[in-house]
Structure formats: C-alpha cells, structure tokens
C-alpha cells in the first residue's frame, strides 16, 4: 500500500476518506458512462471495471522509475514519461504491493532485469498471506500467475514480473483462507490469466470481500489463476479519465502504444530486452523486509 502523506489539502482528505470507505470508486463506477477502454461488468449484484489485454498483441510493461532513477509514482507522470519516449499510455493500473518508500516489497522484473528479488518471507498483512504469487510475462509473450515459491523453477526467461499477495485463485481453487460471506469488504484490484491466455485486470466499484472477488475471477472471468494487487489505493487509468494524478503508487502496469499506432515492441526493442535477460532459475538472496 502507498504511504499516507503528512500534508493533505481538504480536498485530498475528502478523497482519501471516500476511498477508505469505498465511496470514491463507487461513485465513479455508478456513472452512466464507462471510460473508453474499460468494460463494466455486474456479477451477483456487485459492479466491476475490467480491462482485457492480449499479451501477444499488446505491449504490457511494468514501470517504477524514470531514466534518472526518480519514482514515477502516479499515472499522470507515467503518461508524460511515455510521451517523452515517443509512446503513449493507453491503460495503466497499480501493480504489486509497495512500502512507505514506494519500493516493491516483492519481486519486480523489468525488461528481463530483476530490479527487486523474490520475497518468500513470512509475516503479517495481505502480501504475506500465503500462498502469495507472481504475475509475469515471459519471452514467448505468455502471461502467467504462479505461486511465489514456484517462480524460480520456470524455464522460459521472464521479461516482466510483479509479486503481490495473496493469490486469489490458483489452479482453479480459491485461496483456502477466504471466507464466503465475510464482512471484511474493501475496494480491491487484481489481475488474472484466462484459460485462453488473455490477461484480465479487474477493480471493484465498491467494497467486496476476498472470496467474492476471487469467485469473480474464477467464474465469469474464466481465470483459473489470479493475483490480488491491492485495496483502497487501487486505480485504473485510461486517457479519457481526468484524475490521473489522484493516486500514488510504487510499481505500475502500463499498456504502451507507439505513436505510429503499434502496440507491441519493435524487434530492436525486444532484442534489447532479451539481451538483458537474467536467468531466473536461481533462488534470490537477501529478500526485502516484510511489508
């Protein structure tokens, strides 16, 4: 989760309070118009926004810092950064969990380079609610959600990866600690991979418990594997939204489109990523502290 600022304007406090109560996104989702690029889904009386990504046709990446090592932190800054690279941001979402310094608390791989090692530590909080997991895209443009301890056994080099927790669904089974009918309801976001290989990002439009959120991924979304991303700080971005700077994050997902209209990276860009690949079948050392 993101740290809370010590200095907040009255409007910022209002937005934060609405978010903690699950009202800010509820109000947005209740709007008759769904932002272009997102799809509204109602299931069992609960509303969600989703964005489906084809990893073979769209260029989904993970972002954290700019070329000077400065944290990007929000969608507005990420959008400006993409434009400075001759690209445009057509979708963004919060990625794996992060600490008070906006640093990932678990694995982060960008362009084949491991920026933060895998975290298999025990502890408290959602991240350490085992089993937790890793979302990744490999060299073959295949998307996967795997249990964290299984990550080092993967054979195909990984291009992008982010770690979070808990796993919502693994192998078609809902996390064993989730309770149907639980009153622990919050705004939640997650990412899953469908049986056909498509990636599904989902954010609830109001408070939902873990079990119902996992069930949403498993059944109407057809995702046998899905990962929880975060709670009330969660947000999506598409260009038609006007509040791109209201939320701050550590790592972020971004679907990038070259200004010539191409969404997948060029062969030259892809080769640069492959040249920098790090073999991921060795266990990581010095895992970061628990969140």
202 found inside a domain: yes
Q: Could you identify the residue written with the tokens 């290989």? A: 197
- Number of H helices and E strands in the chain, helices first, is 5, 16
What pLDDT sits at residue 210? 98
What pLDDT sits at residue 88? 96
280 found inside a domain: no
* Number of domains, the chain: 1
290 found inside a domain: no
What pLDDT sits at residue 235? 95
pLDDT tier, 281 (very low <50, low <70, confident <90, very high otherwise): very low
Residue 83: φ, ψ to 5°: -65, -35
Q: Look up the domain containing 130 and give its range.
A: 10-275
List pLDDT tens digits, range 269-279.
555 544 544 44
130 found inside a domain: yes
Please name the helix (run of DSSP H) or strand (run of DSSP E) that holds residue 45, with its range, or none: none
Distance CA 106, CA 99 (A): 10
Average pLDDT of span 112-120: 98
What pLDDT sits at residue 173? 98
Average pLDDT of span 169-183: 97
pLDDT tier, 192 (very low <50, low <70, confident <90, very high otherwise): very high
Any residues with CB less than 8 A from the CB of 181 and at least 6 apart, and which? Answer: 209, 211
224 found inside a domain: yes
> What is the rounded average pLDDT for all residues in the chain?
84
pLDDT tier, 20 (very low <50, low <70, confident <90, very high otherwise): very low
Please name the helix (run of DSSP H) or strand (run of DSSP E) that holds residue 24, with its range, or none: helix 24-30
Average pLDDT of span 247-256: 96
Average pLDDT of span 153-167: 97
| Model pTM score | 0.81
List pLDDT tens digits, range 28-79.
454 457 888 999 999 999 999 999 999 999 999 999 999 999 999 999 999 9
What pLDDT sits at residue 241? 83
1 found inside a domain: no
Instruction: Tell me: pLDDT of 100 over 90.
Output: yes
Instruction: Tell me: pLDDT of 236 over 70.
Output: yes
């Amino acid at each position: 989760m993101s740290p809370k600022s010590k200095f907040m304007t009255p409007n910022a406090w209002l937005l934060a309070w609405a978010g903690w109560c699950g009202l800010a996104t509820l109000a947005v989702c209740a709007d008759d118009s769904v932002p272009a690029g997102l799809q509204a889904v109602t299931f069992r009386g609960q509303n969600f926004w989703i964005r489906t990504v084809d990893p073979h046709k769209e260029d989904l990446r993970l972002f954290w810092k700019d070329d000077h090592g400065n944290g990007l932190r929000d969608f507005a800054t990420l959008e400006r950064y993409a434009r400075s690279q001759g690209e445009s941001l057509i979708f963004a979402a919060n990625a794996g969990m992060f600490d008070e310094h906006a640093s990932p608390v678990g694995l982060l791989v960008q362009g084949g380079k491991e920026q933060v090692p895998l975290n298999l530590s025990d502890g408290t909080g959602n991240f350490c609610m085992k089993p937790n997991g890793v979302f990744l895209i490999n060299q073959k443009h295949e998307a996967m959600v795997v249990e964290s301890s299984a990550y080092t056994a993967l054979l195909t080099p990984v291009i992008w990866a982010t770690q979070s927790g808990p796993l919502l669904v693994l192998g078609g089974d809902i996390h064993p600690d989730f309770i149907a009918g639980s009153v622990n309801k919050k705004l939640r976001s997650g990412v899953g991979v469908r049986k056909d290989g498509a990636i599904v990002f989902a954010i609830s439009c109001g408070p939902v418990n873990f079990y119902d959120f996992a069930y949403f991924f498993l059944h109407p979304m057809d995702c046998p594997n899905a990962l929880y991303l975060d709670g009330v700080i969660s947000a999506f971005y598409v260009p038609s939204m006007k509040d791109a700077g209201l939320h701050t994050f550590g790592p972020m997902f971004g679907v990038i489109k070259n200004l010539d209209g191409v969404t997948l990276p060029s062969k030259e860009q892809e080769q640069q990523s492959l040249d920098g690949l790090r073999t991921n079948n060795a266990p990581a050392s010095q895992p970061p502290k628990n969140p």
